[in-house]
Structure 1
Amino acid sequence: MTSVKELCVASNSANNAPQPPEIIEVEELVVACDGGGGALGHPRVFLTLDNGRAECGYCDRLFILKAGVKVARSH
């Protein structure tokens, strides 16, 4: 039988687990990220989607190029 203490410890461990990063599909090769929290966000940074993806170094948001999107690349 599981004790109340064991249940509380298990519950707290589950609540403190890191959240998976937010994944945002985009249609451009350059995106801006400010954390999305208004004043509680982070400085705006511009990210280039090399190989169709980029991760924000501040908030770990993952930006991926939408499937099937054709983007003109400069030579």
Structure 2
Amino acid sequence: MPSPGAAPAPAETITVSETTVACDGGGGALGHPRVFLTLVDGRVVCPYCSRVFVLAAEGAKAVG
């Protein structure tokens, strides 16, 4: 358990190749409802788990 006043853990950043992504929290049954998110200006943050999805630069390796 983090100590009081400790900074929260940084959110996971996932590089993608599409402008629409799906996020379910990645925890199976412990995740969250699946939501579809649209990247705006190459970036979107999941409102449930705070994962950050960023659009890959041209030629960069991406998931999806």
Give the TM-score range, shorter chain: 0.7 to 0.9
1:39 match: secondary structure: helix
Structure having the higher strand fraction is 2
Structure having the higher helix fraction is 1
Larger RCO: 1 or 2 (CA < 8 Å, sep 6+): 2
Structure 2's unaligned 5+ residue stretches are 60-64
Using the size of structure 2 for normalisation, the TM-score is: 0.81
2:58 match: secondary structure: coil
Compute the RMSD of aligned alpha carbons: 1.7
- 1:68 Cα deviation (Å)? 1.2
Among 39, 42, 46, the alignment partner of 1:49 is 39
Find the counterpart in structure 1 of residue 54 from structure 2: 64
Structure 1's unaligned 5+ residue stretches are 1-11, 70-75
Using the size of structure 1 for normalisation, the TM-score is: 0.69
Question: Which runs of 4 or more aligned residues in structure 1 lie more than 4 Å from their structure 2 counterparts after TM superposition?
Answer: none
Larger Rg: 1
